[in-house]
Amino acid sequence: MAKKAKKIKTKKGLRLEVVNPNAAGIDVSSTEMQVCVPEDRDGENNRRFGSFTCDLHEISAWLKACKIDTVAMESTGVYWVPLYMRLVADGFDVLLGNAKAIKNIGEKKTDEVDAEWIMLLHSYGLLKASFQPCNYAREIRNLTRHRDNLLRTSSKEVQHMQKYMVLMNIKLANVISDILGKSGQDIIGGIIEGERDPKKLALLADPRCKASKEEIEKSLEANWDENLVFTLKQAYDLYHYIQKQIVDVEKKVEVIINKYKADLPQEMVKKKNVSEAIKQKPQKIRYLSTSNSTLMNFGESI
């Protein structure tokens, strides 16, 4: 594991000691990787590589040939992820630094200078590692973020349904509190299937609906427009498709959670739920939370 900065006293005063002599620095971009190793490791110690998978393997092989054991890189967008995962899988100690904390002030900014500067800072232990979750947490985080995107997309389709009904002067939302409920969805489904009689559509409402059949019938006296009915159907179908996608994502998250629980020590698994184990071993499982507390009860969101 990479070491932190260390000061030593000399006759001329304090100076920094090289604590990571086998360090390399990498400047990351979307199309190429600039990799720098100490000058005594290779005649061409500051090299430029591509960003294809074969290039990532080539970087790893070159670092091994140069006897590098710890690597520092900038967290540039998401471009660092494939190389980071490749180097970790190949046994390197990889430090991901915040780009704001890695700034070369004295020289003109180039990829070569940046890579060398990162290597220099890392060799003296001056870089602070950004937090990286375990693989289980990473997978869950990716899926829950995707789920959040699906939820936002589905809410837009609800707005579209409301818009198209308003344009046809269907005032269903004025008498039914939630058009996503059973009554609202059954009535919209009836409209899409071709029913235009307000009385017949009102009968589709659930008997427990607070609004009377007469009120619902009045709200469904519309200026029918087949083009708007078509777009209403598109929004309705897309909304239900996205809801199915959300269910699939939640099932996938549950599979990953079960895998994680299987890897936990048995004394932690025997607890009533994983959240109880957080109180005892927060460093083990505090990263498995999501932004949706109803999906998983794992504490703070990541």
Task: Determine the structural domain holding residue 184 and report its residue range.
Answer: 147-254
Give φ, ψ of 290 to 5 degrees.
Answer: -135, 170
Nearest to 1, CA basis, from 20, 24, 18, 26: 20
Looking at the fold, whether 223 and 163 belong to one and the same domain comes out as yes
Residue with tokens 């607070």: 210
Give domain status of residue 273, yes or no: no
Query: Mapping DSSP to helix (H, G, I), strand (E, B) and coil, where does residue 254 land?
Result: helix
Is the separation of the CB atoms in 17 and 140 below 8 Å? no
pLDDT in tens, the chain (302 residues): 566 666 666 666 677 888 899 999 999 999 999 999 999 999 899 999 999 999 999 999 999 999 999 999 988 788 999 999 999 999 999 999 887 777 765 667 888 999 999 999 999 998 888 888 888 888 999 999 999 999 999 999 999 999 999 999 999 999 998 899 999 999 999 999 999 999 999 999 988 888 899 999 999 999 999 999 999 999 999 999 999 999 999 999 999 999 988 888 776 655 545 545 444 443 333 333 333 433 443 333 33
The number of C-alpha atoms within 13 Å of 285 and in the hemisphere containing its C-beta is 23
Model confidence, pTM: 0.71
Looking at the fold, whether 75 and 156 belong to one and the same domain comes out as no
Give domain status of residue 84, yes or no: yes
Q: What DSSP designation does 129 have?
A: B
Q: How many domains does the chain have?
A: 2
Cα 43 to the chain's mean position, in Å?
40
State the CATH number of the domain containing residue 64.
3.30.420.40
